Structure 1
Amino acid sequence: MKGHCLCGHVSFEITAELPPVYQCHCSLCRRVSGSSSNSALIIAAPNFRWLSGQSGIRSFSTESGFKSEFCQICGSPVPNINASGNAYWVPAGLLSEPVDTSVLAHVYSDSHASWDVGFLSDSLAKFAEMPSEQQWSELCRQHVHDKLANKA
């Protein structure tokens, strides 16, 4: 699975099955995306590879530690590695091909914009904050189990 920024300067490849997507409704993600939420995937570092443009990535960090990395040419948000170096945050909108995954959960749902209420009535999991790695892993495992059960 390949992906790239708006202008195509920054590109990458994911070499594993895609995990579920989450949508973050926090105020920082709304600002960086210019939308109601930021849709992203978490990809294990060994399953991620830069193809081009890595030297053209710029970064912005807030005092709280929120980090946004973006293409210096078009401004698109681009993947960035987490603090521990074991996974990449990947904006789902950068994926170039149709994907076999879906949104699994809404995070920071209590921080949603007052005008963004449609997601409140869907049946997806909602977290007031970012779920722990263990909570997210369990939710993903259950998702895979349900997906396999529905195929049978």
Structure 2
Amino acid sequence: MKGECLCGEVRFSVKGELSNFYQCHCTLCRKATGSSANAATFVSEECFHWISGQDNIRSFQKPTGYRNDFCSTCGSSVPNKLRDTGLIWIPAGLLEGVTGSRVAVHLHLSSSATWEQASSSSIRLDDGPNSLASLHEALQRTS
């Protein structure tokens, strides 16, 4: 399986079947993604190969050890080695192609955003909206 960042500068491949994914809802992952959760998995170093763009990767690390590697062109989070574990962390959204993996674990639900709660009245679209105006109108609905 292959994967790449948003601009395509950073590219990688993974040999073999992927493990299932986890979604982390902690504050750090929400801030790093700008979303409700970070979806990712791990693979062994032996199964991971950089194709291109390693020189384009920058890293941010907090004193606590939290680390986010990202493409310096587009800002996408990209894979990184998990300290000295022999594992590579892979953001699920970068992967291309079909996988049998699924989200199997949700972490830090106590930190999840209050706006994340599923609503039976929310609009669900198979594709994007017909226009930005129709999306804006839908966002103004109160129930």
Shorter-chain TM-score bucket reads 0.7 to 0.9
- For residues 65 and 105 of structure 1, what CA distance do their matches in structure 2 show? 22
- For residues 46 and 3 of structure 1, what CA distance do their matches in structure 2 show? 16
1:142 equivalent in structure 2: none
SS in 2 for 1:51: strand
TM-score (norm 2): 0.80
TM superposition outliers: structure 1 runs of 4+ over 6 Å? none
Query: How many pairs align?
Result: 118
Instruction: In structure 1, list runs of 5 or more residues that go unmatched.
Output: 119-152
SS in 2 for 1:9: coil
Within 5 Å, which residues of 2 pair with 1:73-92? 73-92=73-92
Within 5 Å, which residues of 2 pair with 1:1-152? 1-118=1-118
- For residues 92 and 24 of structure 2, what CA distance do their matches in structure 1 show? 12
How far did 1:117 drift? 2.0
TM-score (norm 1): 0.75
Instruction: In structure 2, list runs of 5 or more residues that go unmatched.
Output: 119-143
Percent identity over the alignment is 45
More helix by share: 1
- Taking only aligned residues, the RMSD between alpha carbons, in angstroms, comes to 0.9
- For residues 40 and 55 of structure 2, what CA distance do their matches in structure 1 show? 22
- For residues 13 and 94 of structure 2, what CA distance do their matches in structure 1 show? 11
